[in-house]
């Protein structure tokens, strides 16, 4: 079976009702990005940061996978598919994708603020004073600006094995995620589904459509021409 690697960003979840980051005014849901998504913001006001991610986590119960998440699952009928997502939601998993790597963490996990390896499942709010079993304050299991990306090496080695690369709904502005595209074998087919694609690489076939339209179309094509 050929390997398909799919790199997704906020755009794939937009039609499920989760806002993207850079389509607005530099604010996420009314918050200054650095206040809620940086180690400095956490130092300054951990309660605000917890509240921000508690709201995002609660929102998960109100949203559902859309046609794009679901179409990617169909690809597994004829390909080995790995999704590398920048998203912290669980919509790929809920759609049924079997192999999902979260580059920027997951809303449904918490971790010790002292030990990044002490990660636990988290379906409810994290409150100030909630601790891991070693007594350390819990924080969202999210990769904030300026922090290491622990899944990066895994993502690179998966990308190097791709026979086909699909990029969906990302502004390609955040590194190191945006660099992954450079690790594919030269000459493999590459597709980019985004209504406002911000790339100039001529070797990538652009499908300038919303994910819910463009992804099912691409999947149908790939299933017909394995």
Is 170 a residue that touches ligand APR (CB under 6 A)?
yes
Q: Is 182 a catalytic residue?
A: no
Q: Does 16 bind ligand APR (CB under 6 A)?
A: no
From the candidates 69, 92, 104, 141, give the one annotated as an active-site residue: 104
Task: Using only the alpha carbons of the chain, give its radius of gyration.
Answer: 18
Where would I find the beta strands (DSSP E) of the chain?
3-8, 27-28, 31-32, 80-85, 100-102, 105-112, 119-121, 138-142, 164-168, 190-193, 205-207
Contact between 195 and ligand APR by CB under 6 A: the answer reads yes
Q: Binding string to ligand APR for residues 114 to 153, with x set by CB under 6 A, is what?
A: ----------------------------------------
Q: Which residue is nearest to ligand APR (CB)?
A: 11
Query: CB-based contacts of 78: which residues, under 8 Å, 6+ apart?
Result: 1, 222, 223, 226
Stretch touching ligand APR by CB under 6 A, among 49-57, 113-121, 148-156, 167-175: 167-175
CA distances from 115 to 130, 132, 135 (A): 15, 10, 11
User: Using CB under 6 A as the criterion, which residues of the chain lie in contact with ligand APR when the complex forms?
Assistant: 9-11, 14-15, 20-23, 86, 104, 169-171, 173-174, 194-196, 198, 210-211
Active site residues: 104
């Amino acid at each position: 079976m050929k390997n398909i690697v799919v790199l997704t960003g906020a755009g794939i979840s937009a039609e499920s009702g989760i806002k993207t980051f850079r389509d607005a005014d530099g604010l996420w849901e009314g918050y200054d990005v650095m206040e809620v998504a940086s180690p400095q913001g956490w130092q300054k006001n951990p309660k605000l940061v917890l509240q921000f991610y508690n709201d995002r986590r609660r929102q998960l119960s109100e949203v559902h996978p859309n046609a794009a998440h679901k179409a990617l699952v169909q690809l597994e009928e004829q390909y080995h598919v790995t999704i590398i997502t920048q998203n912290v939601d669980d919509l790929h998993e809920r759609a049924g994708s079997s192999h999902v790597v979260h580059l920027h963490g997951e809303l449904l996990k918490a971790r010790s603020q002292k030990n990044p390896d002490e990660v636990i499942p988290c379906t409810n709010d994290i409150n100030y004073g909630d601790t891991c079993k070693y007594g350390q304050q819990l924080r969202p299991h999210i990769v904030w600006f300026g922090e290491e990306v622990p899944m990066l090496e895994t993502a690179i080695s998966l990308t190097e094995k791709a026979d086909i690369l699909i990029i969906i709904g990302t502004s390609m502005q955040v590194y190191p995620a945006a660099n992954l595209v450079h690790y594919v074998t030269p000459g493999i087919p590459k597709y980019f589904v985004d209504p406002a694609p911000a790339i100039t690489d001529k070797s990538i076939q652009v499908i300038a459509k919303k994910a819910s339209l463009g992804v099912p179309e691409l999947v149908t094509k790939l299933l017909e021409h394995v």
